[in-house]
Every structure is written in C-alpha cells, then in structure tokens.
Amino acid sequence: KAGVTQTPRYLIKTRGQQVTLSCSPISGHRSVSWYQQTPGQGLQFLFEYFSETQRNKGNFPGRFSGRQFSNSRSEMNVSTLELGDSALYLCASSLLMRTALLGTETQYFGPGTRLLVL
C-alpha cells in the first residue's frame, strides 16, 4: 500500500505570494492532519479534516486554510506569505475507525513539503 504523498516536495516563494500544498492520504484513510515544523517552534498542529469537514484547528492566523475532497485528498493554502512561514509542512493520515471516545489512531506522515519564503 502506498504511503502518504505530498506535493510539491520543495517550493520557493516570495513574500506576499500564496501557495497551495497537496496531500494524498493512504488509501482508505479518511482523516488528514497538517503540521508545521520550524526550528524555533517545533511541530505545531495546523488543522485536521475528516469527511471533508474541518474537525479541529490550531492556533494559526486565517492566512492558513485547508480543505479536503471527497476522495480524502487534502490541500492547504497559505495566502500573503511571510518570511516566518518558511517551514517543513507535514501531512498525516489515519484510519479513524474508532469512536470519538476512544481517541486517536496511529498517524502516518508524508515526507513533507519544504517551503522557503524569500
């Protein structure tokens, strides 16, 4: 079974531009989460989607948005890029078969998209 794939792998943008990153989860996985990793802040949760609905959102400005399609593929968009948005953006998918009470499943991460904002 193919793992989580993310495209593009590397991206260079300039301040003020916008960017769209894509994530394809493992086949059959319905939950997709996004994380930002920087040397200063570490790994921080951006948002989580399940069945095309955003279920949870981290503490990021509105410039960060995302969506999920009916095939569970997800995209995240960052508008009006700032230098501080330079980071590794990681996507993770999970099966999410359990009920809400039982908590999270193991999450499988993609290789990430490294974004550099100049």
Partner 1 sequence: SQQGEEDPQALSIQEGENATMNCSYKTSINNLQWYRQNSGRGLVHLILIRSNEREKHSGRLRVTLDTSKKSSSLLITASRAADTASYFCATARFGGSEKLVFGKGTKLTVNP
List of residues contacting partner 1 (CB under 8 A): 4, 31, 33, 35, 42-45, 48, 50, 55-56, 58, 88, 90, 92, 94, 96, 99-112, 114
Buried b or exposed e, range 51-82, using 16+ CB within 10 angstroms: eeeeeeeeebeeebbbebeeebbbbbebeebe
Please say which residue, 43 or 118, places its beta carbon nearer to partner 1.
Answer: 43
Please say which residue, 22 or 45, places its beta carbon nearer to partner 1.
Answer: 45
Q: How far is the CB of 109 from partner 1 (least distance, A)?
A: 4
In whole angstroms, what is the distance from residue 103 CA to residue 85 CA?
Answer: 30
Alpha helices in 44-86 (DSSP H): none
Q: How far is the CB of 46 from partner 1 (least distance, A)?
A: 10
Please say which residue, 55 or 73, places its beta carbon nearer to partner 1.
Answer: 55
Eight-state DSSP code of residue 16: T
Q: How far is the CB of 80 from partner 1 (least distance, A)?
A: 25
CB-facing half-sphere around the CA of 96: CA atoms within 13 A:
19
Please say which residue, 78 or 92, places its beta carbon nearer to partner 1.
Answer: 92
